């Protein structure tokens, strides 16, 4: 493995930030503003794509921007783990920015410029987190994501919006200040550096003779510090953040924000602590059991929700923990399963949210009980929704199956029947809360006032802006189930090292 | 003396010029007529002073811990008293901070001060001389003269141009700080009697006995703790801040509070090293209490200025915490935190001044929902609020990180407790930001949709003058936040030297240490008996 020093990788983080600035300046001209957003997204994706061959060849890219103190710097480093997250997030941003046009104009939302600026900067900061080469840089971008998604959550500026946003920022800022900051300082005191060891996931950066109690303390602080990952009991902000406009819930609260959380946890586990130390102290397995609770309980709560977005939110809480579970089991198979779920969950969940938003804009329906017969009026949307649901449940050939396959292999490698049961039970629960929605839409009775309405709801131009992206993401979530090689190869590079 | 000093090699007496230019400016201002002329004159004087100070940055020799740019004139040979000024890595940044902040003080008073501009200009310029004097004096008498010299102008600024309770606030300020400095004078005289010199580097080199160190430490520390201010001597600060005009608040926050920290580093630590070690637990506890009490009180304020004032108590707690950790990261972090607080809190007070001129209220509830009307203002408010809560990438983060690093390295428990202060900082700043930028849930948002004149005021956005001040400070927020190395390098030698002084001075054997502390208690006992 070679480390190539190049300032080019700064571009990927800069493009969304510059996009945000341009959007702010062109705020008055709506069409220009919205196309700039999309162009920025395409350029961001292109820039990540341009680095892909180098990463696939087994090399890493690195660049140090600022040195604050010896061992503490703003440093970017692109490795297979980072490139997976960056690819997924930047690609979905393209579709989401198209979807936004339909949604925001369809509902005639206010303060659209502020919305687009914060949206772009948040994605940029997520890119930064994916590219970060040390814990400080990760923390920096993690916090920028928190601050810039805050206005998005309270976008509607009503009582509910303020309350949700308040909860959001309190959870995220409190945990990062109270847990993450001391964790970072402790790691710096013990290791003398905050740079990730991205060359070898077994080693980490801790010296061999580090006090085990300190290691455990630092680990626990990190685990709870990244509250964006939605691990219980620090998951409560996520359902309340669903007051945000749906494009925010879709891209940010299914892909960017929460994935920054699980990505950060995975990153810290693999590149700061390393699998050796986690195995030796038993922290890996402890984490696996701990997140199992989240997986099961969040699924049970999801069963009780009748609002579609709320159900999706709890489903997200549950699914995010699969990723942590996979990494925490610390076997090559389970890590593969966990990390590939970053992509699988992203594509499937964004489809589900897009569909929920599309249904809301087209028909004004939020509650599952009102959605009877919707499959006939919005066939494309509901088919995509159904496919994505299969992905969440883990039915082949959709992407989610690959995840569960590898996770199950991981539990068998460990001969751990408890975790295997957790996986199987949770799959049943997933089916329990997704299948009724699909059944209702296609076979359920419409509400009395909708009786006899058969006209398509998907034909208006603005709705098309929403349907096309969600059909694409739905299709891709099947595609990466059939052909997962791209991501598997990247993860292999990581696991083999 | 050559052991301590490097004489000024520039072709002009830079430090003396810094001291004399504002005084000349003040004298000339007395003879000028017309507010506009005086405004431009005082701006010009402060700018010239700032310009003169720049070689301190470019010509500073980082490799040495000696005092630089020194000027030495015989003054009162009979008492071995000289006029001697110089800077080292500890004071040079504070001098630069002073000279760079003063033009902003004039600018932010431009329309805020409406009466008696001539007197205001004179007092502000004299204040500048006194503040620079404190940082550059290498002689305890000179130091004390400037230290006391600051009191009167500051008193006048609060008492003449202050708010409703200005009499109360100005007297309180005066009594508190004056009481502190009396003790300082006593220890200066005591040290002179013991050593026969007023020269600071010689006093640092002198090895006082332990009991003597304890007394001078306590006397000095009291004065500096009041100035900082540390809990429980902090109550003058909110009163002074709230009543002071905007320039007064900026001077107080940016520079005056730093004198306490500077005093600790210049007097207590090097002159009484053993006593310092003896009192470390007490001062660490006081620092922690300041951090938490300051943060907690800030959380409950409805007056923006009070909120920032209490947040200053918390931030200064981090400074004393860093100083008394007595390690490299702690002291560097503390010094950086002093600069950062000067930049960030200064800017926050300027921001409050700007909004006060528009709404004539300092209540959060009266100044809510500004995001709709004042986007530029709100952007700056966001930047400086985040800086104040030590957001990564901004200046305060570096200082706080270094202090925390020093703390966790030496006393993990102290570090863990101080984290609470960091959490509180996030809580009160985010609350302030949320309420000022968006919220109108308190029902006081009188300006609603009528964008302006109906309510008797107009919420127009920042003008060019205001923009320049804030943009200037923003540069420092990100510069220090992302590239603090030049500043840390400037401190490096002096901090190393300081730590060496403490180590060298603290080698008193344990037995002596123990015995003397008993003797000390006995002394105190007899002294109290005699008193009755």
Q: Which residues pair with B68 in a beta bridge?
A: B87
- pLDDT of A260 reads 92
Q: Which chain A residue lies closest to B372 (C-alpha atoms)? A: A111
Minimal-distance CA residue of chain A relative to B385: A147
The answer to whether position A171 is within a domain reads: no
Q: How far, in Å, CA of B162 to CA of B142, rounded?
A: 30
Structure tokens at A122: 């948040």
Residue A476 is encoded by which pair of tokens? 């891709």
The tens digit of pLDDT for each residue in B415-433 reads 999 999 999 999 999 989 8
* pLDDT band per the 50, 70, 90 thresholds, residue B445: very low
Integer Cα distance of A393 and A303 in angstroms: 14
pLDDT confidence tier of residue B529, bands split at 50, 70 and 90? low
Nearest-CA distance from A262 to chain B in Å? 20
Place of tokens 């005009």: B245
A185 touches chain B (CB under 8 A): yes
Burial class for B63, CB neighbours closer than 10 Å (0-12, 13-18, 19+): exposed
Sheet containing strand A60-69, edge to edge, reads A3-5, A60-69, A72-78
- Among chain A residues, CA nearest to B392: A140
All structural domains of chain B with their residue ranges: 5-531
Is A139 near chain B, with CB under 8 Å?
yes
> What pLDDT score does B500 carry?
86
The shortest C-alpha distance from B299 to chain A (Å) reads 14
Classified as helix, coil or strand, A60 is strand
Does the pLDDT of residue A91 top 50, yes or no?
A: yes
Quick one: CA torsion of A215, A221, A225, A229, rounded to 10 degrees?
70
Asked if residues B203 and B197 have their Cβ atoms less than 8 Å apart, the reply is yes
Are B391 and A143 a contacting pair at CB < 8 A? yes
DSSP at B2: T
Say how many CB pairs under 8 Å bridge A and B. 73
Cα angle A18, A21, A27 (rounded to 5 degrees) comes to 135
Q: Looking at the complex, report in whole angstroms how far the Cα of residue A178 sits from the nearest Cα belonging to chain B.
A: 6
8 Å CB contact of B404 and A162 = no
Q: Do the chains contact at B398 and A68, CB–CB below 8 Å?
A: yes
Distance of CA A125 to the CA centre of its chain: 13
Domain limits for position A420: 282-497
Which chain A residues are closer than 8 Å to B485 by Cβ?
67-69
Nearest-neighbour CA in chain B from A277: distance (Å):
22
> Is A162 close to B441, i.e. CB distance below 8 A?
yes
ipTM: 0.90
Query: What is the chain A residue with the closest CA to B393?
Result: A140
Tell me the chain A residues in contact with residue B427 when contact means C-beta distances shorter than 8 Å. 170, 173-174
pLDDT at B443: 46
Contacts of B40 (CB under 8 A, 6+ apart): none
A211 shares contact with chain B (CB less than 8 Å): no
Which residues, 6+ apart, have CB-to-CB distance to B527 below 8 Å? Answer: none
Q: What is the pLDDT of residues A409-422, one digit of tens each?
A: 999 999 989 999 99
In the predicted model, is pLDDT for residue A135 greater than 80?
yes
**Are B157 and B174 spatial neighbours (Cβ–Cβ below 8 Å)?**
no
Q: Give the residue, B453 or B109, on which the prediction is more confident.
A: B109
Interface contact A189-B402, CB threshold 8 A: no
Average pLDDT score over residue span A466-487: 88
Tell me how close the Cα of B482 comes to any Cα of chain A, in angstroms.
6
Which is higher by pLDDT, B518 or A412? A412
Query: Nearest C-alpha of chain B: how many angstroms from A196?
Result: 18
Confidence class of residue A235 from pLDDT cuts 50, 70 and 90?
A: confident
A93 in any annotated domain = no
Residue B517 has a pLDDT of 52
Q: Is the minimum CB–CB distance between A169 and chain B shorter than 8 Å? A: yes
Q: Please write the tens of the pLDDT for every residue from B105-115.
A: 999 988 888 88
Residues A177, B405: C-beta atoms closer than 8 Å: no
- Interchain proximity B485–A178, CB inside 8 Å: no
Q: What secondary structure does DSSP assign to A197-208, as a single string?
A: --S-TTT-SS-T
* Pick from A135, A112, A138: nearest CA to A127: A138
What's the rounded Cα separation, in Å, for the pair B327 and B527? Answer: 36
Residue A307 lies in a domain: yes
- Adjacent-strand bridge partners of B303: B363
| Contacts of residue A399, Cβ cutoff 8 Å, sequence gap at least 6 | A340, A343, A344, A347, A348, A391, A477, A478, A480, A481, A484
- Mean pLDDT within B516-521: 54
pLDDT tens-digit series, residues B285-297: 999 999 999 999 9
Nearest chain B Cα distance for residue A154, angstroms: 10
Q: Which residues of B touch A (CB under 8 A)?
A: 386, 391-393, 398, 401-402, 404-405, 408-409, 412, 415-416, 419-420, 422-423, 425-427, 430, 434, 438-439, 441, 482-485, 488
With an 8 Å Cβ cutoff, is A10 touching chain B? no
- Domain tally, chain A: 1
């Amino acid at each position: 493995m070679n480390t190539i020093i190049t300032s080019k990788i700064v571009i990927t983080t800069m493009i969304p930030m510059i996009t945000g600035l341009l959007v702010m300046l062109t705020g008055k001209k709506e069409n220009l503003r919205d196309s700039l957003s999309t162009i920025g997204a395409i350029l961001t994706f292109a820039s990540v794509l341009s680095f892909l061959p180098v990463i696939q060849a087994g090399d890493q890219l690195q660049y140090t921007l600022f040195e604050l103190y010896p061992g503490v710097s703003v440093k970017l480093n692109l490795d297979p783990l980072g490139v997976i997250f960056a690819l997924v997030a930047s690609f979905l941003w393209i579709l989401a920015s198209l979807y936004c046009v339909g949604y925001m104009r369809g509902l005639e939302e206010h303060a659209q410029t502020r919305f687009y600026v914060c949206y772009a900067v948040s994605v940029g900061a997520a890119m930064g987190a994916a590219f970060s080469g040390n814990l400080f840089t990760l923390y920096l971008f993690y916090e920028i994501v928190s601050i810039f998604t805050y206005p998005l959550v309270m976008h509607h500026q009503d009582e509910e919006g303020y309350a949700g946003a308040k909860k959001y920022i309190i959870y995220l800022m409190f945990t990062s200040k109270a847990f993450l900051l001391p964790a970072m300082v402790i790691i710096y005191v013990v290791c003398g550096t905050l740079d990730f060891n991205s060359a070898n996931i077994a080693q980490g950066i801790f010296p061999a003779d580090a006090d085990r109690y300190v290691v455990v303390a630092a680990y626990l602080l990190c685990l709870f510090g990244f509250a964006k990952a939605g691990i219980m009991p620090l998951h409560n902000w996520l359902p309340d953040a669903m007051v945000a406009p749906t494009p925010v819930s879709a891209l940010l609260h299914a892909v960017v924000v929460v994935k920054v959380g699980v990505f950060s946890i995975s990153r810290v586990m693999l590149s700061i602590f390393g699998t050796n130390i986690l195995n030796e102290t038993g922290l890996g397995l402890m984490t696996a059991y701990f997140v199992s609770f989240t997986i099961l309980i969040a699924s049970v709560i999801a069963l009780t929700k009748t609002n579609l977005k709320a159900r999706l939110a709890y489903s997200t809480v549950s699914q995010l923990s699969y990723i942590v579970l996979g990494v925490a089991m610390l076997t090559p198979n389970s890590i593969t399963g966990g990390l590939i779920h970053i992509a699988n969950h992203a594509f499937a969940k964004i489809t589900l949210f897009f569909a929920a938003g599309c249904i809301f804009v087209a028909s004004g329906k939020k509650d599952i009980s009102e959605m009877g017969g919707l499959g006939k009026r919005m066939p494309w949307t509901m088919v995509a929704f159904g496919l994505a649901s299969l992905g969440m449940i883990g039915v082949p050939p959709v992407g989610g199956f690959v995840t569960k396959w590898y996770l199950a292999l991981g539990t068998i490698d460990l001969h751990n029947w408890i975790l295997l049961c957790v996986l199987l039970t949770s799959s049943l629960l997933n089916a329990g809360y997704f299948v009724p929605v699909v059944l209702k839409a296609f076979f359920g009775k419409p509400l009395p006032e909708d009786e006899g309405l058969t006209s398509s709801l998907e034909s208006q131009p603005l709705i098309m802006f929403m349907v096309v992206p969600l059909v694409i993401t739905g299709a891709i979530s099947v595609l990466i189930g059939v052909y997962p090689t791209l991501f598997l190869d990247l993860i292999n590079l990581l696991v083999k090292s | 003396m050559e052991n301590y000093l490097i004489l000024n090699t520039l072709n002009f007496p830079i430090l003396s010029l810094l001291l004399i230019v504002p005084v000349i400016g003040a004298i000339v201002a007395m003879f000028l007529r017309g507010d506009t002329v005086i405004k431009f004159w005082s701006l010009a004087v402060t700018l010239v002073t700032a310009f003169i100070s720049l070689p301190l940055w470019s010509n500073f020799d980082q490799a040495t811990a000696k005092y630089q740019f020194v000027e030495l004139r015989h003054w009162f040979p009979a008492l071995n008293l000289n006029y001697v000024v110089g800077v080292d890595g500890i004071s040079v940044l504070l001098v630069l901070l002073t000279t760079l902040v003063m033009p902003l003080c004039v600018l932010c008073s431009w329309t805020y001060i409406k009466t008696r501009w001539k007197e205001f200009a004179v007092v502000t310029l004299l204040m500048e001389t006194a503040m620079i004097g404190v940082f550059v004096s290498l002689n305890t008498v000179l130091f004390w003269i400037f230290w006391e010299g600051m009191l009167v102008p500051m008193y006048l600024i609060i008492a003449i141009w202050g708010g409703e309770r200005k009499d109360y606030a100005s007297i309180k300020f005066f009594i508190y700080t004056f009481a502190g400095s009396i003790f300082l004078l006593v220890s200066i005289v005591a040290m002179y009697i013991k050593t026969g010199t007023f020269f600071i580097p010689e006093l640092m080199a002198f090895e006082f006995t332990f009991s003597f160190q304890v007394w001078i430490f306590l006397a000095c520390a009291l004065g500096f703790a009041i100035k900082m201010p540390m809990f429980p001597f902090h109550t003058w600060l909110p009163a002074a801040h709230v009543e002071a005009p905007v320039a007064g608040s900026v001077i107080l926050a940016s520079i005056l509070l730093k004198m306490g920290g500077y005093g600790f580093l210049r007097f207590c630590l090097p002159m009484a090293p053993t006593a310092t070690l003896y009192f470390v637990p007490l001062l660490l506890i006081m620092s922690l209490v300041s951090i938490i009490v300051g943060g907690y009180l800030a959380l409950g304020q409805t007056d923006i200025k009070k909120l920032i004032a209490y947040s200053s108590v918390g931030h200064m707690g981090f400074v004393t915490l860093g100083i008394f950790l007595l390690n490299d990261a702690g002291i560097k972090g503390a010094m950086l935190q002093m600069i950062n607080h000067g930049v960030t809190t200064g800017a926050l007070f300027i921001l409050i001044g700007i909004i006060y001129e528009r709404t004539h209220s300092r209540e959060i509830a009266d100044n809510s929902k500004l995001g709709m009307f004042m986007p530029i203002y709100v952007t700056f408010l966001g930047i400086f609020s985040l800086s104040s809560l030590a957001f990564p990438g901004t200046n305060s983060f570096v200082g706080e990180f270094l202090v925390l690093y020093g703390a966790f390295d030496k006393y993990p428990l102290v570090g863990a407790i101080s984290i609470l202060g960091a959490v509180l900082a996030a809580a009160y700043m985010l609350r302030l930001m949320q309420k000022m930028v968006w919220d109108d849930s308190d029902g006081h948002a009188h300006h609603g949709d009528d964008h302006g004149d109906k309510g008797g005021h107009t919420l127009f956005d920042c003008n060019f003058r205001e923009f320049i001040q804030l943009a200037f400070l923003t540069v420092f927020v990100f510069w220090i936040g992302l590239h603090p190395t030049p500043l840390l390098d400037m401190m490096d030698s002096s901090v190393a030297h300081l730590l060496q002084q403490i180590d060298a001075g603290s080698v008193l054997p344990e037995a002596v240490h123990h015995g003397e502390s008993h003797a000390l208690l006995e002394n105190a006992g007899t002294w109290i008996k005699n008193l009755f």
